[in-house]
Every structure is written in C-alpha cells, then in structure tokens.
Structure 1
Amino acid sequence: MNILFLTQSGPDLPSVRFRVLPFVERARQQGHTADWKRIPKAFHKRIAFFLSIPKGTVIIIQKKLLTGFQLSILKNRSLALVFDFDDALWTSHPSSSAGPRRDKSEKRDAALLENICSKVDLVIAGNNYLRDRIKSFNPNIEIIPTPLDTDKYVPSESRLENKKIIVGWMGTSCNLFFLPEVFKELADKMREPNLYVVSDKPLPPSIADLADFEKWSGEAEVQQLQKMDVGLMPLTDDEYTRGKCGFKILQYMACGAVPLASDVGFNREIIEHGINGFLIKEQSEWGKYVNLLTVDPDLRCKMAKEARKTVVDRFSLAPLADKMLARIETIIPKKPY
C-alpha cells in the first residue's frame, strides 16, 4: 500500500507524535510506502497540495475537519479514504467562553464532522464515546486507542523507593485549566507536598508557588515522566472530556507512576480502581489517595507494576498499529481477476 497521513499540525502535537508518526514507521517496517504531510493553511495552497497527491494513495486524514469540496478532491485521488480522530471535535474546551461565537463554531464543526464521517471509507475512533457520536453517519468504524511505545516509555531503573514521592502532571498549557482546585486541595492535605508540573508554558500565578515547574521537552519527556511516583489527570465532566483518550494516564503508567484520574470517560476503561490506579469522584479524594500512596510504599510499588502491565497488555504500539493496518487493508478495493 501507498499510505499518506494528512495532519493539521506539526510533529510536536501529541496526536501527530503518537497517532501518526509511529504508524508511519510501523507501516514502513511491514513493507508499505508510508509518509505524512501537514495540510497547508492557505486555501489556494491546500487545493494545489491535494491535487498533487498521487492517485491510488490510501489517504488518512488525522483529525482535520475539511469542507465537502476539499473532501471530494481527496476522495477522487484516493484508493481508500480514512478519517482518524481522538478528540470530541464537535465541542469546545471547557475553558472557552460560552456565547454565540462558541455556539456557531460548534455547530459548524459538528456539521463538518458528520459530513466527513459519512463520506470516508473507514472511520478510526480513539474510544467508544467518539464512536457512538458518529456511528449513525458511518457504520464502518474501528476503535483504536492511542498507542504507546512501551519499549521507550519505561520506569526508571534508578528509582529510589525511600525518597520523598513526587506527584506530577504533564500536559499542554491549555489543560493547566484543570489544575488549580486540585493543587490547592493537595497543598492543604498532602503529608509531604511535592508537586511537579511539566508543560509548554509556566504555571498560572494562582498555583505557581504550589509546584515545581519544568518546561516540556520531547527529548527529555521520558526522563520527566520517570521522576513521578504519582501522575494526576483531573478533568471536568462534559462532552469535551468524555471524548479524551486518557493518553496522559498511559504515559504515567508506562513510566512507573500510579495514576489518579477523574472518574470520567475513557479513564474508567483504563484504570481499575485500587488495582492499577485510583478514580477520583470527590475533590477530597485527591489528597486521600495521595496520602495513602505516600505512607504505603509497598502498595505504591504494587500498583505501579499493575499500571505498567495494563499499558503493555492493552496499549502497546505494535499490536495496535498492526490492527490499524490490517483494518485498512479490508477496505482496499479488490482487483478483478
């Protein structure tokens, strides 16, 4: 197969780093011709770019909502057309202001999502919630969670069992929105406060003095994750967060941190409460479970091992990439004898 992923952003965006680049590499290993390219922003450049794609290419649109006209060009040039998404594209981040502008944007995006899902040969969704949203538009859907290279994301061999535990959070700056209430709760309730944040931008003033900050680095990401004994994923409960695929949790778990995550959406399908992490229902439980893991290192070690096993067994890169490639092959038109 000749496979081309089309993305809306560059390689630093998590969805490109983990849902595109590894699949390209895996496809090449299997003997396919595979590549990825970023869709131009300018309309005239975009159309020329689409027309330059060789006919007979398997085109995978990664999360970009295109107009019907643009989609028709790709459909005409593709051997098979696939849409892959891992976010609730029809709604807005909970930090965005409500109002007519947001309503208009959401209505437009919902219509574009419906159109693209109804026109492609296959939809790949990151979780059940996303699938259920669009299954009436196209029954040809495959659920493929965002995979993780568990040979690269590993616990630190030099982890010290008796050191002061580090409670961490890693994520893009738009999601710092979810931290203030949780961090204030932990600062008040933790026996040994030691909060650590890794992001592309510094902490807001409201919590800047509550945690150590380190700027995210692609080269140092694994080492940054390995510093954490407990990984946090607080969320609100709404359409946007129910569409998230819990990838932050998987990174923590693979690198040896016990996850504490809001009892929302796909988090429930990753974490088995009390076995490989804790699902948080009430605000007071953040401090409760951090303190439990602090005073019981044996429990923390046991849960960290279970967390790692969960990711290796269910979310490792190779089997999920192979599943995706095998599924794509089922939609390739068969040549006549």
Structure 2
Amino acid sequence: MNVLVLTRYERLGASSRIRFLQFLPRLEREGFTFDVRPLLDNAYVRSLYGGPPVGTVSILRAYGRRLRALMRRMQYDVVWLEKEALPWLPTWLEIARLEGIPYVVDYDDAWFHRYENHWLSPMLGHKIDAVMRVAHTVVAGNDYLARRARQAGARHVEIVPTVIDVERYRGLPVAPPNEVTTVGWIGIPLNAHYLAVIAPALRAVAGDTRIQLNVVGAPVPSELTGIPSESFPWSEDSEIARISAFDIGIMPLHDTPWERGKCAYKLLQVMAAGKPVIASPVGANVQVVRHGVNGFLANTTEEWSDALRRLAADPELRQRMGAEARRTVEDQYSTALAAPRLAAILKKAAAEL
C-alpha cells in the first residue's frame, strides 16, 4: 500500500515525529510504503524555539512544495494527513486539493480553537470541521478531540492516544541516592509559561524541602526566580537521559479549551522512564494519571504542594509509583499497541478508493 504522508513538520517537530514518523519503520515491515512530504522544515521549528527567523520566501516555497505534492495525490492509495494540508488558506482550496482520494486526518491538539479565536475566524473558524467531515477517518488523540470530530459530522472517528516507544526507555541508569529531589519538566519554549501556574507551590515547597527544578527544552521562566532551578537544551538524542535524571515529572496546565485537547505526551515520556508524575487534571492527563497509583492529579496550590512534599519525602513511594507509571505506558500507551490500529485504519480507508 502506497501512502502519501503530509506531516506539518520534519522530525524536529514533536507532533509529526510522535504521531507519524515513529510508526513508519514498523508499518513498512507490514508492507506499507510511505512518501513523506512535510510542510515546514526543521529551520522553521528552530525559529519557534528561538533560532533564526524564517523568511516569507521560505514559507512560500514550503506551500509551493505542498501544493505540488497534493497535485500528485492520485498516485497513492491513501493520504495520511496531519491536521490540515494548507494552514491558514481558505476551506474551499483545502477541500479541493484533497478531493478524489480517501484521507485519514490526525489531531493531537485542538487546532480548531486557534482558528475560532483568530481575527480570520469568519473565513477559517469552521475549516477544521470541514476537513474532519470530508475525511474518511479522523484519528483523535483524546476524547475531547474525538467529540469535536463527531460534532463536525466526521464519518469515522478513532481515538488513538499519543504513545511511546517503550524499548527506547529500557535499561536506564538508576540515579544514586541524593538529598536533593529533582523535579523535572520537559517541553518547548512556547509552553514553558505553564510552569508559572505552580510557581507558588514550588516556592512554598522549596522553602522547607530540598528540591531542584530541571527545565528541559526551554529557559526557566522569570516567575520562578528564587527557586533552585536549571535549564537544559533539548535534543532527541539526549532527552531520555535528561528525563532519567528526574525524580518526579510535572505537567501543569491551564484549564481552557485549548489545553483540553492536549494528549499528555511529555507526561508519558516521564512515566516510560519509571518516574512518578504530578499533573493538572486537564485533557488526556485525566486518563493517563491514576491518582495515588502512578502519580497525582493536582489543581490548587495546596494540592501541588502536598503532592510534591509527599514524593520528595518518600523515595519508596516514588519507586512504587514510578513502577506503576511504567506499567501504565507498557499496557496502554506503547507504539506496539497503536501501530496495528493505525495499519487497520489506513487499510480500511484505502479500500474505499
């Protein structure tokens, strides 16, 4: 089966890497062939992370490449699409460039809210609904996204959570005992502002407990000044080693419609490394974290402070919860479970050509 894969980014973009690219070797062994045509290159992703800005000419060239790929779409059995083919362009053009071949579209973010809240909403506010409605299948990363797809009139909706290649997290070094508990967060600069949500809790705990905050992939926000903390650069090669140095992983979020579409990937990474987690009860976090078993769900400053203190004070609790966290990922959120489902979804869509 020949599949045209239209990702948003190259490998440096987490959504493309985790929702698409990590599955390709496994699916190729099942007889699939893939032609991967990302819209935006790694230079664009680096610009989002503080790198050199990408000029207008580069963006126009990217759209030109995407349009040429769409013109050749009939050479394939099915299109596997990330979010939409032509971001910020009118709905009619998007649908016209996709017609004639079945496509499977994947969402791991509530991208429809971005358009709804933008000044272009009169033109684009219902664009993602239209893409969902015309698709053969919408693959949603959580219940919130799936519910929107059904409301939009999607023909087939499948919930496939974001998953982890657990084999990459085997045999990690065991951190030696330390009087300082390392609290870790991993993400991108655009999301580091979520740490401000728990700044009062971190500051209160740091006043009576020896903790160190490790921020991987972003600078430490100014709201955390005075809290023992350090920033580390992110790379795909080093991220697992950085995570393995955590004693506790955290994922604070605001509770707004945008965050309800999030799929808990960074939380799952920490859990795959056998670490307990504390997370806001928002989006997929609610399904991933079993409160008091593999981590804690915390909403208020008091709940965050209590969870941090309990885990910092009790290494055996951390070990027990960490083992449960790892088991959760192995049993429910691994690539070995998701890949066969994706294969079946793509085959079913192609069969209706």
Q: How high is the TM-score relative to the length of structure 1?
A: 0.90
Mapped pair 1:49 → 2:49: no
Q: CA deviation at 1:106?
A: 4.8
Alignment of 1:187-202 (within 5 A): 187-190=203-206, 191-199=209-217, 201-202=218-219
Counterpart in 2 of 1:115? Answer: 130
Alpha-carbon deviations, 1:122-161, whole Å to 9, x = none? 1111111101012031131111011110000246233224
Alignment of 1:121-136 (within 5 A): 121-136=136-151
Counterpart in 2 of 1:97? Answer: none
Counterpart in 1 of 2:46? Answer: none
Change (3 A) 1:334 1:237: closer
Mapped pair 1:204 → 2:221: yes
Task: Measure, in 2, the Cα distance between the counterparts of 1:256 and 1:107.
Answer: 46
Q: CA deviation at 1:25?
A: 1.7
Q: How high is the TM-score relative to the length of structure 2?
A: 0.86
8 A Cα contact 1:68 1:115, kept in partner: no
Counterpart in 1 of 2:279? Answer: 261
Change (3 A) 1:291 1:107: farther
Mapped pair 1:178 → 2:194: yes
Change (3 A) 1:45 1:4: closer
Change (3 A) 1:86 1:108: farther
Q: CA deviation at 1:208?
A: 5.0
SS at match of 1:197: strand
8 A Cα contact 2:197 2:254, kept in partner: no
SS at match of 1:179: helix
Q: CA deviation at 1:334?
A: 6.0
Mapped pair 1:17 → 2:17: yes
Which residue of the other structure, out of 79, 90, 95, is the alignment partner of 1:59?
79
Counterpart in 2 of 1:156? Answer: 172
Mapped pair 1:72 → 2:96: yes
Percent pairwise identity: 30
Task: Measure, in 2, the Cα distance between the counterparts of 1:239 and 1:107.
Answer: 19
Which residue of the other structure, out of 289, 292, 308, is the alignment partner of 1:274?
292
Q: CA RMSD in A?
A: 2.2
Which residue of the other structure, out of 237, 252, 255, is the alignment partner of 1:219?
237
| Alignment: residue pair count | 325
Matched letter for residue 235 of structure 1:
L
Change (3 A) 1:109 1:163: farther
Matched letter for residue 75 of structure 1:
E
| Structure 1, unaligned runs of 5 or more | 94-100
Task: Measure, in 1, the Cα distance between the counterparts of 2:308 and 2:121.
Answer: 37
SS at match of 1:34: strand
Task: Measure, in 1, the Cα distance between the counterparts of 2:122 and 2:143.
Answer: 22
Task: Measure, in 2, the Cα distance between the counterparts of 1:65 and 1:53.
Answer: 12
8 A Cα contact 1:187 1:193, kept in partner: no
Which residue of the other structure, out of 295, 312, 321, is the alignment partner of 2:313?
295
Mapped pair 1:304 → 2:322: yes
Greater Cα shift, 19-28 or 226-235: 19-28
Alignment of 1:67-106 (within 5 A): 67-76=91-100, 78=101, 80-92=102-114, 102-106=117-121
Matched letter for residue 70 of structure 1:
E
8 A Cα contact 1:276 1:303, kept in partner: yes
| Structure 2, unaligned runs of 5 or more | 41-58
Counterpart in 1 of 2:158? Answer: 142
Structure 1 consecutive aligned stretches of length 4 or more whose deviation exceeds 3 Å: 43-46, 105-110
Greater Cα shift, 269-278 or 279-288: 279-288
Alpha-carbon deviations, 1:167-201, whole Å to 9, x = none? 010001111111124134212223112111001x4
Q: CA deviation at 1:32?
A: 1.2
SS at match of 1:133: helix
Mapped pair 1:245 → 2:263: yes
Change (3 A) 1:264 1:44: closer
